[in-house]
Structure 1
Amino acid sequence: MELKNNESLKLCRRSFVGGSLAAAATLAASTSTVSAMETKSSTPEGWIDAHVHVWTPDTETYPLGPGFKPANMLPPSFTPEELFAHCKPAGVQRIVLIQMSFYKYDHSYMLAAMKANPGVFSGVALIDHQSADLVDRMDELASSGMRGFRLHSMADTKGGDPKGWVTDPGMAKLWRKAAEDGLAVCPLINPQDIPYVDALCKKFPETKVVVDHFARIGVSGKIESDSLDNLCRMAKYPNTHVKTSAFYALGKKAAPYEDLIPMIKQVCDHFGPERLMWASDCPFQVQDGHTYKASIALIRDRIDFLSASDKQWILKDTAAKVFFA
């Protein structure tokens, strides 16, 4: 999740399925030259970016959800073509797309991007865990290529207050269904919400969990040691993973982001590289002077304690196991 300016906008990522064949065809036509380039779907080479948002200025074909206007789209456009211009030079060939809040419950654009670029994208969706047709919706989204469901810690979304997640019947149904189907639950939470996700992991240890952006530890400008300890205690659940991501928004919030290395080391010491995955959180990583290269370079080039095998896990294999298997 994006953690820069206009925070109220960036804290409401949710959506529902709504893709159409016509929409997919429209995007396929616009990306045909890109999809041919990218990667052979049968040859899983190159790094994986585990967290990216895409959207288009074509709001006639892909209308924005209620409450959103084109002025809310910052930057005005971040299409797959624009993404590839950043990730290809860095050796990234596959990407996990996270539904953009501008579209709310309509997944049309993300699904069209996935259809136009087979083998390149996987997807994570938000879903109303209190809906009567939750199981059917999860099946529908999974059949469209979604490999995870994002939980949102904001009370103004269907995610609600994390304090209520632990006892919510719909949340229990979502976690059980995800475990049965081998899908991931991806909590986007604040540091104070870690205990509630910990409690859910305890109740549903078979569910694959991917905590976004270090649970936002460091957004305040300081790496809060108590919160980091709480996050690391979740390593006792073997199916729980952490995204080492959104470097632009954490700690000093300045490249080369080396102030985040102690946090990465502590998380790696507890979870192991096999349960960590790098992600850029584009397009927000490539704004305000930040670059894609600086994000991936922190893991690839600047951390001496990571072996070549460790980097292979963090930059590719963990995300491949969770989102592309």
Structure 2
Amino acid sequence: MQIDAHQHYWDPARDDYGWLTPELTTLYRTFGPADLAPLRARAGVQRTVVVQAAPTVEETRYLLDLARGEASIAGVVGWVPMLQHDAPALITELARDVKFKGVRPMLQDLPDDHWIANPALAPAVAALIEHDLAFDALIFTRHVSALETFATRFPDLRIVIDHGAKPPIRDGSAGLQEWADGITRLARLPHVHCKLSGLATEAAPGWTEATLRPYVDHLLQSFGPARLMWGSDWPVLNLNGDYLLWHSVTNTLLAALSDQEREAIFGANATAFYRL
């Protein structure tokens, strides 16, 4: 079974996304399961993990409501206010929904790059571990040290880095080594995984297989096929690509792997990581 480990559904009328403004004409409309279904069918992707796009509990509940009536949604990664005193109780409540699989605090948008290193996160993390939930880390290279501190502090928490830590692909060689070194450091921690997603969005328009190969190769070398999982980041992907192209290019970039290794990246790893 192929699983898209990272995609989004949203409705701008809900008005809690912040970043999703009318100026983003490609994205500023409702995206739901019916929009993705034909693309999934052509790519052979049966199920998906839907990831939060707004820092509100209300959006998390919206996604869980959507998931209850949609068999293709295997799991939901939501948002909780992890530093609030009631975060553990909220996590416990949400965990009663079988499709609630983890949380994501949208680290890239927080004003403090070291927020994730705050020891006060411990009660919320303890609740995640207690309920066998995962943690999605939406980071850039500048967050690596803080995430390393966090991951080292909580070795029992399953952590996945979204979008390969968003390498500076459009900048060419500028920043490449710093990103690569950061990935190497994080990959040394065995409970840290990584999503093969979001790379097209970080590239300049007109990207090709050759554009992305150095980044995919480094992620593969660092994490290995057992700790990588494919995701589309659809519909954000539509800003600089499309679902079928990204799926096809990823297949080409992973062509040297065995069938079993490709099957792991395109589904089995996500199943195990998110407990789908």
Quickly name the TM-score band, shorter chain normalised.
Answer: 0.7 to 0.9
Aligned to 1:270: 222
Aligned to 2:254: 303
Q: Distance in 2 between matches of 1:284 and 1:119?
A: 19
Contact conserved, 2:108 with 2:140, CA < 8 A, in 1?
A: no
Q: Distance in 1 between matches of 2:220 and 2:237?
A: 22
Q: Secondary structure at the match of 1:143?
A: coil
Tell me the TM-score normalised to structure 2 length.
Answer: 0.88
Identity of aligned residues (%): 24
1:76 aligns with 2:39: no
Offset, 1:253: 4.7
Q: AA paired with 2:209? A: Y
Offset, 1:87: 1.4
Q: Secondary structure at the match of 2:105?
A: strand
Aligned to 2:80: 127
Offset, 1:230: 1.3
Over residues 292-313 of structure 1, what are the superposed CA-to-partner deviations in whole Å (9 max), with x where a residue is unaligned? Answer: 1111112223434322122111
The change in CA–CA distance for 1:220 and 1:271 in structure 2 (over 3 A counts) is same
RMSD of aligned C-alpha atoms? 2.4
Over residues 145-168 of structure 1, what are the superposed CA-to-partner deviations in whole Å (9 max), with x where a residue is unaligned? Answer: 211111322465xxx523133133
Question: After superposition, where does 1:1-325 map in structure 2 within 5 Å?
Answer: 46-56=1-11, 59=13, 63-65=14-16, 71=22, 74-101=27-54, 105-118=58-71, 120-144=73-97, 145-154=99-108, 161-169=112-120, 171-218=121-168, 220-222=170-172, 224-287=176-239, 290-325=241-276
Contact conserved, 2:138 with 2:165, CA < 8 A, in 1?
A: yes
Aligned to 1:3: none
The change in CA–CA distance for 1:251 and 1:118 in structure 2 (over 3 A counts) is closer
Q: Distance in 2 between matches of 1:307 and 1:163?
A: 39
Offset, 1:276: 0.3
Tell me the TM-score normalised to structure 1 length.
Answer: 0.76
The change in CA–CA distance for 1:230 and 1:313 in structure 2 (over 3 A counts) is same
Offset, 1:80: 0.8
Q: Secondary structure at the match of 2:171?
A: coil
Over residues 8-28 of structure 1, what are the superposed CA-to-partner deviations in whole Å (9 max), with x where a residue is unaligned? Answer: xxxxxxxxxxxxxxxxxxxxx
Contact conserved, 2:7 with 2:48, CA < 8 A, in 1?
A: yes
Q: Distance in 1 between matches of 2:268 and 2:251?
A: 14
Q: Distance in 1 between matches of 2:133 and 2:109?
A: 24
Contact conserved, 1:64 with 1:103, CA < 8 A, in 2?
A: no
Unaligned stretches of 5+ in structure 1? 1-45
Q: AA paired with 2:224? A: G
Offset, 1:72: 6.4
Q: AA paired with 2:160? A: V
Offset, 1:220: 4.7
Give the aligned length.
Answer: 271
The change in CA–CA distance for 1:221 and 1:251 in structure 2 (over 3 A counts) is farther
Instruction: Report the more deviating stretch, 104-113 or 258-267.
Output: 104-113
Q: Secondary structure at the match of 1:311?
A: helix
Offset, 1:77: 2.0
Instruction: Report the more deviating stretch, 103-112 or 133-142.
Output: 103-112
